[in-house]
Structure 1
Amino acid sequence: MDETKRSTMELPISLDLSKKELEDLIEKAKDWALMHGMCLRPRKDFDINTLQFAPFVLFPSPFPREEFQNACDLQVTLNTLIHRVAHDYDFLKNTLEETIKVDKFTKKLFEIYETVHEEGVAQKISLGILRSDLMLDTSCPKTNMKQLKPHCCWKQVEINTIASGFGWLGPVSTQLHKFILQELGYTAELSNLPENNALQILCSGMIEAWNLYGNSQTVILFVVENVTYNICDQRFHEFEIRKQNPNVKVIRRNLTQLAVTAKLGPNKELIVDDYIVSVVYYRCGYEPSQYDSNKEWVVRLLIERSLAIKCPSIQYHLAGTKKVQQTLAKPGIVARFLKDETTAAKVKEIFTGLYPLDFDKYGDEAVEMGISEPECFVLKPQREGGCNNLYGDTIKNFLRSVKSEKTRVAWILMDRINPPIHKNYIVRPGFKIEETINIKDLVSELGIFGVIIGDDKNIIVNKQGGHMLRTKSALDNEGGVATGLGACDSPFLID
């Protein structure tokens, strides 16, 4: 590893506590998390009536103030970009044309899109709850090598358009860290934890969509997994909606239940049991295993044909694919959607290298790059939900195996981002205190939320909607909290 990858950031708070102080603080923090709903259902020994605290980092993690603000400021522009991409049929069709030949899941999604496009969209308004994930990068050009900062910029990992989680776990992590800092007497430092109203803003977007539907007797439908581990993140959205507007009811159904109970009314209203649904909020439906059989696909199409406002609509779902992300990084493409060259240039700056694996000169070159220097890249399929990417020698072996296969087109190659390292403690359920009090080298990924509502002609609502931070061991590739690798965190802004 070269020196740029060894860059570190330091929290301006001492982590050097005695063993007794650490043990007391950790036990108190665990209880705080449990008593404030910072929880998951356990995957091991699953019991629907049992919760355990979500893994968390004991102290907030350092993050540059300027870069944090830049990311927040850019989110409204990214919302606009994705909205316009989602409403450009020709762009989506041309971009995904080769991918859907080899990726069955993306093909099924696109077939739904084509069906409703040809029939005429019943509900032109879409609700987008987006999350742009980013990392600070230390892979600086030589001209920046003498800089004092431990990073040169930040780069976008991806933008999520479906089931963008942590609307609750992000803000509650900030609350936990405020509690911890107060316990240690760092009250003056609380101002460095940025305000995080993600839950309120995301839920206000759902209520605004409910209002736009124009029928106060309707409900909001959460489409959920068959088994929901991340239950608090979902339920707190439901509770916040009731808090903001007591007249709005939320119902929860999985796709298999909807296949039996959902139908269209005479005016294409979506009816579930005896409820008319005005807004459909997907917390599943983003990976193949969530469609047990063809009947789940049938009901996904039925929902898309309905008058309900979807979050996301099928075109928004497709706009979040990795192939679209890679295509947007090509010269001139962002400017096609944003028009203003200065704004387009700002967006282009956050893109890391993204390479197609098409059967042409550029695709062949990308395959050879991945084989010769696999440690420099991440290989990504058209999937969400974590633990789908390939790293290191696995990239080399995989690319060699598909070098002559059409299936390689379903993947993209992305430059690996090398974030600066910081030190902290990770607290996990089931771990002994002796394991927890060992300080670790960690890296973080920041997510900025956005809310956008509009149709193919107009944008009605467009705002930045809070943030979340996930942190993992510097040695780990993946960092999903629900999968057990990452931990909940919040940024401590440094200058």
Structure 2
Amino acid sequence: MTHSDHAPLVDMAITYGLLKYDTHDQLSHMPIVLDPYLVSQLNIDTMKNSSQIYADLLMTLPQAFLEKYLEPLLLNDPFINVLLRILRSSPENAQPYRQAIGRNDFFIASSGTPKQVEFNTVSVSFPMMSECMVNFHTFLESTKAISRLPLENPIAKEITQCFLDMFQYYAFPNSVLLMVVQPNERNIFDQLAIEKLLFRQAGIRAVRATLEDIGRYGILRHGHMYYNNFHVGVAYFRAGYAPEDYQSEEAIQGRILLENSDAIKIPDMQYQLAGMKVIQAVLTDESILQSHLSCNQSREYLAATSVYTRPLDNKDAYEKVFRHPDNFVVKPQREGGGNNFFGTAISSLLNDPSIDFSTYVAMERIHPELHNAQLVINNKVQPPVPCASEIGWYTLTHAMHGAINTDIAGYLVRTKPATENEGGVCAGYAALNSLTLK
């Protein structure tokens, strides 16, 4: 295709809000896919039910449980050390209203059944872009550019109402949303869309700050959090998941200030730590799961969507990975792309005498079903190639005084060429997509 052939397509994607900054700080369209990904209603129901159960489960995990499995990592994982320090510096009931926005990611395996990749408990990205993508595909279907209508994805409405409920509970006039961000954020438009909706619907102002900024300019007054003299009602973390976010003592103190305040945190540190890879690994152990989830049917849902996952210092796991590295993914206690080990990189890791295997988990590699797709990246429509699509279900989990409720807010689809291991959209490895029913 020439530029003139595909320019209207890219322009229309931009019109629908599918925007990001590239590595040169230039405005660019999000990588996108032309055709929605086909999935059965049965698999949709399985993923949604499993996500709801899992989100509730993570909210029930007590601090003592988290510390039991994270404590052994302290010696050789400075990041976990920092996060546990913050948790232990925080009173358990600074704010009884607990709220989390999570995302449970799946592949449809080659067997045709969904398998969980991971559950994200903090800074889940692309909720607003996901709805933009569905709106874009809906437009393309109306013009007959594509043949299938995407499934509805009203996540903007769901997330906006979630924030409005929090501010109604907090009930301090003129309190603000503190959006905790990273410097030089490339996915800023996904965040700004939330800020715009809150201001338009309820006049709620958003203030953006890094953890370091909060450490410098934040203060507690009688348990209330103030940042640059703004009274913070809700703190929404779109950062705080990576070691780079805590490189200074001021950044660490910024998170401690928030955790000690009565601001509603999305999420609080306890829920964030429930998403650590080692916690998700131990929850695949039937005996451990049974002690935290009494419902047989719920455990069966989770077992049906999980794959073999164990801490790498587990003897059985180590031997399996050593013999068949291509059958596994090895993951550190990190969020975000680019951290996982595959194939020969696993063999190198196992032969490194400086590595503390307790800081990694081994997960059976999921072989997803493949489908042909056309990606649009950097203003160019790529030729169709075999691709894999990862489906994430957004969860809104609210807990207060022991009562827990999770709603499914919408979905995210990221499609990548089958040759790619990583799945970052802003980095260009994958592209946004939508779902359509088989």
Q: TM-score, normalised by structure 1?
A: 0.85
* Runs (5+) with no aligned partner, structure 2: none
The Cα of 1:430 is off from its aligned counterpart by: 5.1
Equivalent residue of 1:98, what SS? helix
Stretches of structure 1 lacking an aligned partner (at least 5 in a row): 1-18, 139-150
Compare CA radii of gyration and give the structure with the larger one: 1
Is 1:75 the counterpart of 2:51 in the alignment? yes
Q: Which secondary structure state, in structure 1, belongs to the residue aligned with residue 286 of structure 2?
A: coil
Pick closer, same or farther for the CA change 1:332–1:356 going to 2, 3 Å.
same
Distance across 2 between alignment mates of 1:259 and 1:290: 12
Give the corresponding residue for 2:377.
428
Distance 1:264 1:68, change over 3 A: same
Structure 2 residue aligned with 1:156 = 116
Match of 1:40 in 2: 20
Structure 2 CA distance for aligned equivalents of residues 90 and 114 of structure 1: 11
Query: Distance in 2 between the 1:283 and 1:277 partners?
Result: 16
Query: CA shift at 1:349, angstroms?
Result: 1.6
Partner of 2:193: 236
Question: Contact 1:29/1:176 (CA < 8 Å) preserved in 2?
Answer: no
| Match among 288, 298, 312 for residue 243 of structure 2 | 288
Alignment match, 2:328 = 377
1:56-455 equivalences in 2 (<5 Å) = 56-85=32-61, 88-117=62-91, 120-138=92-110, 151-184=111-144, 189-190=148-149, 193-246=150-203, 248-265=204-221, 267-358=222-313, 363-402=314-353, 405=354, 407-429=356-378, 431=380, 436-455=381-400
Aligned length: 438
Shift of 1:370: 1.7
Q: Which amino acid aligns with 1:134?
A: F
Q: CA deviation at 1:137?
A: 1.1
CA distance in 1, matches of 2:365, 2:145: 39
Contact 2:46–2:301 (CA<8 Å) still a contact in 1?
A: no
Between the aligned residues of both structures, percent identity stands at 27
1:127 Cα deviation from its structure 2 partner: 1.0
How much has 1:438 moved relative to structure 2? Answer: 1.5
1:312 deviates by: 0.8
- Aligned residue for 1:332, secondary structure, equals helix
Provide, for residues 388-408 of structure 1, a one-character-per-residue CA deviation record: whole Å limited to 9, x for no partner. 101011001111114xx5621
| Cα pair distance change 1:182/1:80, threshold 3 Å | same
| Deviation of 1:27 (Å) | 2.5
The residue type equivalent to 1:480 in the other structure is: G
- Secondary structure in structure 2 of the residue aligned to 1:102: coil
Question: What amino acid sits opposite 2:68 in the alignment?
Answer: N
2:12 corresponds to which letter in structure 1? W
> Contact 2:217/2:228 (CA < 8 Å) preserved in 1?
yes
CA distance in 1, matches of 2:382, 2:255: 47
For residue 205 of structure 1, report the CA deviation from its aligned partner. Answer: 1.2
Cα distance between partner residues in 1 of 2:64 and 2:180:
29
Q: Distance in 2 between matches of 1:349 and 1:165?
A: 26
The aligned amino acid for 1:249 is R
Matches of 1:51 and 1:337 in 2, distance apart? 47
